[in-house]
Structure 1
Amino acid sequence: MIRPLLLTLGLFFQTAVFAQSFDHSHKAFTGILKRHVVVYDSGLKSAVNYHMLAQQPDRLNSYLSSLSQVTQTQYETWTENEQQAFLINAYNGFTLQLIVNNYDQFESGDADSIRDLGGLFSSPWEHDFFSLLGEKRTLDWLEHEKIRVDFDEPRIHAALVCAAVSCPKLRAEAFTKRLLEQQLEDQMATFLCDDDKNGIDDKGVYLSKIFDWYGSDFGNLRAYLRKYKNDLADSDAEQQLLMTQFKIRYLDYNWQLNSVENR
Structure 2
Amino acid sequence: MKKYTLILAVFFMAFSVNGQDLDAFFNKADAFLKANVSNGLVAYKKIHDNPEALYNLLNLAEGIAVDKTDAKNYQAFWINAYNLSVIKGIIENYPTNSPLANAGFFDKVKHNIGGKNITLNDIEHKLLRAQFNDARFHFVLVCGAIGCPPLISEAYLPSTLNKLMDTQTKKALNGDFLMVNIKKKRVEVSQIMEWYKEDFTMNGTTEIDFINKYRTEKIPANFKIKYFEYNWQLNKQ
Q: TM (normalized to structure 1)?
A: 0.80
Partners of 2:19 and 2:126 lie apart in 1 by: 27
Code of the residue aligned with 1:94 in structure 2: it is: S
User: Mind listing any 5+ residue stretches in structure 2 that lack a counterpart?
Assistant: none
CA distance in 2, matches of 1:24, 1:154: 28
SS class of match (2:38):
strand
Given residue 37 of structure 2, which amino acid in structure 1 is its aligned partner? V
**Inter-partner Cα distance in structure 2 for 1:253 and 1:179:** 29
Shift of 1:243: 2.7
Which of residues 194, 199, 202 in structure 2 aligns to 1:212? 194
Contact 1:25 / 1:177 at 8 angstroms: preserved in 2? no
Q: For residue 114 of structure 1, what is the aligned residue in structure 2?
A: 99
2-structure distance, mates of 1:246, 1:170: 30
Which secondary structure does the structure 1 equivalent of 2:137 belong to? helix
Are 2:45 and 1:64 aligned?
Answer: no
Contact between 2:173 and 2:215, CA under 8 Å: does it hold in 1?
A: no
- Say if 2:179 is the partner of 1:199: yes
Pair 1:253-2:230 in alignment: yes
**How far does residue 245 in structure 1 lie from its aligned partner after superposition?**
1.4
- 1:78–1:69 Cα change, 3 Å: farther
Q: Secondary structure at the match of 1:124?
A: coil
In the TM superposition, 1:14-93 aligns within 5 A as 15-21=14-20, 22-23=22-23, 26-39=26-39, 46-71=40-65, 75-76=66-67, 79-93=70-84
Paired with 2:123 and 2:93, the residues of 1 have a C-alpha distance of 20
RMSD (Å) for aligned C-alpha atoms: 2.5
- Tell me if the contact between 2:58 and 2:113 (Cα under 8 Å) persists in the aligned partners: no
What amino acid is the match of 2:178?
A: N
Instruction: Provide the rounded CA distance (Å) in 2 between the counterparts of 1:25 and 1:187.
Output: 22
Choose the corresponding residue for 1:98, options 63, 66, 89.
89
Query: Take 2:189 and 2:88, find their aligned partners in 1: how far apart are those partners?
Result: 29
Offset of residue 193 of structure 1 = 2.1
What are the superposed Cα offsets for residues 131-155 of structure 1, whole Å, 9 maximum, x if unpaired? 1232211001111111001111110
CA distance in 2, matches of 1:134, 1:36: 26
Does 2:110 match 1:126?
no
Residue 43 (structure 1) aligns with: none
Instruction: Verify the 8 A CA contact 2:68 2:74 in the aligned structure 1.
Output: no
Aligned to 1:181: 162
Which of 243, 248, 255 is the matching residue for 2:220?
A: 243
Aligned-pair distance for 1:25?
Answer: 7.5
Shift of 1:173: 0.4
- Structure 1 residue runs of 4 or more that deviate by more than 6 Å after TM superposition: 7-11
Compared CA separation, residues 156 and 24, structure 1 to 2 (3 A):
farther
Corresponding residue of 1:42: none
Shift in Å, 1:258: 0.4
Distance 1:127 1:211, change over 3 A: same
Contact 1:198 1:208 in 2 (8 A): yes
Aligned identity (percent) is: 30
Q: Distance in 1 between matches of 2:209 and 2:48?
A: 42
CA distance in structure 1 between the partners assigned to 2:221 and 2:107 by the alignment: 40
Alpha carbons of structure 1 residues 76 and 48: separation in structure 2 relative to 1, 3 Å: same
The one of 145, 162, 184 equivalent to 2:143 is 162
Equivalent in the alignment of 1:236:
none
Is contact 2:146-2:235 (8 Å) kept?
yes
Task: Number of aligned residue pairs: give it.
Answer: 229
The TM-score normalised by the length of structure 2 is: 0.88
Answer whether contact 1:154 1:217 (CA < 8 A) is retained: yes
Deviation of 1:79 (Å): 2.0
Q: Structure 1 residue 68: deviation in Å?
A: 1.1
